[in-house]
Chains A and B, each alone.
Chain A
Amino acid sequence: MRFVFKTSYAQDIQLFRDRMDAFWYVLLAAAVALLPVVMSEYYVGETTWVFIYAICGVSLMVLVGYTGLISLGHAAFLGIGAYAHAFFIKHGVPWVAAVALAVVITTACGIIVGLPALRMSGIYLAIATLAFATIIQEVFSRWESVTHGFAGMPVEKPVIFGVSFAHDTAFYYLCLFFLVVSLWLTRNLLRAPTGRAWVAIRDSEIAAQSMGVNIAIYKSMAFAYSAALMGLAGALFAHKIAYLAPDIFTILLSIQLLLLVIVGGLGSLHGAVFGAIFVALLPPVIAILRDSIPATLSSVAGATGLSLFGAIGEGVGAFLRKPGVEAGIFGLILVLVILLEPLGMYGRWMKIRVYFSTFPMYKRATFKRQKTYMRSERLR
């Protein structure tokens, strides 16, 4: 077991817990930076999705995991950011300014949507954001002078100060850069009074208020900041997907983003990244399994002479090829995570770490959940 000796108050607000931690993060950063050298272009592209989803995850984590506000409409912010960015670069605005404008616009939308959030919580907020997202989606498909409606809107490749980021590897580094910046900024907020105020609102609004937190301001701030990050992610998303259409930014995407933060683990920034890895890589993994399972099993059948294996393989392959199966698998995972591991992948990761650091003294009871009794949320 490793002990951290604390000798000054400043130590508790460092970016990294100690030198050891910093070392590991630097190593991780180096590994991620070197990945494109060893990976094929296809995987570089898929990993870029991880970074973009991770920015979305950080955005939603601030709102859902730290401030305790539910949003079922975050895809709308992503869409606003994506369309705004694409619109501005199409009209010759420089890339950096276009991103800035996209962020400003989504932030403004975030504040507007956040306004009703000041008076309601829980389920009402979920439904209000759902309504907002539905309206925005309709706007995307009807406001054809800007969004080109269902005809779709092609997005130009990013060119920043004359440097083209059109190549997949270049774009990979661009997204990585923005992810690291978002993580750093968010971490800063979370270790400062603002982050504490958000957590306080999540756990007890009334106590937070009595300790001097202006609930209205901090809730709007959480919404605005979350929307701003979503706008940034939207700009990158637009380049990555290259062709914008209204039916990308549906409620299903919002739900997928929520799945991301839940599977990753609510209330931790690590969780946002873990969840992004999961959400971005699951579809390609399913695609690989779809082809490899029947192939493997039929070769097993060939080798053993048991045609049963071949049949099973065919069945699984056929099942995975049916439309809509992916959504069902996401649903199943969501249900299992909520029932079995409410802290998500980050929670599991913590348990594994504790297991090894206390080996062989690990006891399951450390993480045993206390029995919770029904606590009414009607009166929150």
Chain B
Amino acid sequence: MTLNGLAVGCIYGLVALGFVLIYKATELVNFAQGDLLMLGAFVAYMAVVWWGLDYWVGFAIAVVVIAVFGALLDATVLRRVIGQPQFAVVMLTIGLGAMFRTFASVTWGSEIYTLPTPFSGVWTVGGVTLSHQYLSIVAGTLVLCGALYGFFTHTRIGVAMQATSQNQLAAYYMGIPVKLIFSLIWAISAGVATVAGILLAPVTLIDINMGLAVALKAFAAAVLGGFGSIPGALVGGIIIGLIELYAGATLPEGFKDTAPYIVLLLMLAVRPQGLFGTLGRKKV
């Protein structure tokens, strides 16, 4: 059972990772992250079921399509609000999210879809059954995180991204194409959301509101880990996933969905900088 919590937690962690990547680089908080996840799952569904493509091909197509979409979104809309008050940006992404949901409901309707996956069996290890579906989520998260870690530490572009998120002006002076980097970060973040969406699809099924619920929990995860910390986002996600699972199993009905938020509020009251974050103070 812990595996289920772990798997759902991984999804929250991945979505939170998307928030954090964008926040670190551009200081925008993307409230439409969950809706990107939903769009990604729908594209994968279209590719696999409607066009009859192989699961992995559909997977790849969805990731690429949404990643390109994310980059375009940055280049056309979001770049214009960098430097404006955070509140405006939050509302902008909320507005975008609402548009995505409407787009999805007009295009695909409000039915619930099932994405067929190659992971259906179970393993039984020492009397414990491990379903392949949940294992695939955990494994997918691990692979993705490993790849991202390698990318950020070992490639030129990855290092340039890190530099940009530390100090944009300095990065710009060093010849890093900051605008392109921003678009790339949006692409990666949207791609990560898509992966999360496809991995999640067999668990929650695909509908237009699937992103909303996940995004809210992922926010809790990101804050729990300290907004701006990448390992924090993953750890936060797993903690939220486990809390949710155990609260649902042991506490009265109604706590499954609220326990993560109660923990979040307590966390904010006691340690607002999160588990791994640092709290800065404005210099005067």
Contacts and interface: CB of A to CB of B under 8 A. Distances in A.
A327 B92 contact: no
A373 B95 contact: no
Nearest to A378: B280
Interface stretch (B6-14, B38-46, B56-64, B253-261): B253-261
B110 A323 contact: yes
Interface string B68-95: 0000000001001111111110111011
B95 A334 contact: yes
Given A131-B265, A372-B83, A331 B95 contact: yes
A108 to B, nearest CB: 16
Given A123-B227, A124-B227, A331-B99, A338 B88 contact: yes
A332 interface: yes
A140 to B, nearest CB: 11
B281 interface: yes
A2 interface: no
Given A142-B254, A373-B83, A327 B88 contact: no
Interface in A341-380: 342, 372-380
A131 B261 contact: yes
A122 B223 CA distance: 12
B163 interface: no
B268 interface: yes
Given A134-B257, A135-B261, A378-B280, A331 B29 contact: no
B281 A135 contact: no
A338 B284 contact: no
The size class of the interface chain B forms with chain A is: 35 or more
Contact of A127 (B85, B91, B99, B264): B264
A273 interface: no
Nearest to B89: A338
Interface in A282-332: 319, 322-325, 327-332
Contact of A338 (B92, B101, B103, B223): B92
A132 B265 contact: yes
A64 B89 CA distance: 14
A377 B264 contact: no
Most buried by A among B77, B91, B223, B264: B91
Given A135-B261, A324-B105, A325-B106, A334 B91 contact: yes
Given A115-B269, A328-B98, A331-B97, A70 B87 contact: yes
B282 interface: yes
Contacts of B140: none
Contacts of A379: 280-283
A116 interface: yes
B95 A378 contact: no
Given A330-B98, A332-B95, A339-B77, A123 B280 contact: no
Given A134-B258, A323-B110, A116 B91 contact: no
B272 interface: yes
Interface string B219-262: 11001000110000000000000000000000001100110011
B125 to A, nearest CB: 36
Contacts of B168: 374
A324 B272 contact: no
Contacts of B102: 324-325, 327-329, 331
B91 A259 contact: yes
At the interface, is chain A mostly helix, strand, loop or mixed?
A: helix
A116 B266 CA distance: 9
A166 B107 CA distance: 43
Contacts of A205: 282
Nearest to A141: B254
B83 A324 contact: no
A116 B88 contact: no
Given A127-B220, A330-B95, A331-B99, A138 B258 contact: yes
Contacts of A72: 90
A221 interface: no
A255 interface: yes
A123 B86 contact: yes
Interface in B92-139: 92, 94-99, 101-103, 105-106, 110
Given A131-B220, A325-B105, 7 more contacts: A142-B254, A206-B284, A324-B110, A332-B99, A338-B95, A339-B81, A379-B283
A-B interface, 10 closest residue pairs, ranked by CB to CB distance from nearest: A328-B102, A331-B98, A334-B95, A131-B261, A324-B105, A331-B95, A374-B83, A331-B99, A335-B95, A379-B280
19 contacts: A116-B272, A119-B268, A127-B219, A127-B223, A127-B264, A128-B268, A131-B261, A132-B261, A135-B258, A324-B101, A324-B102, A325-B102, A328-B102, A331-B98, A331-B99, A338-B84, A339-B92, A374-B82, A379-B281
Interface of A: 64, 68, 70, 72, 115-116, 119-120, 122-124, 126-128, 130-132, 134-135, 138, 141-142, 205-206, 251, 255, 258-259, 262, 319, 322-325, 327-335, 338-339, 342, 372-380
Interface of B: 23, 27, 29, 77, 80-88, 90-92, 94-99, 101-103, 105-106, 110, 168, 208, 216, 219-220, 223, 227-228, 253-254, 257-258, 261-262, 264-265, 268-269, 272, 280-284
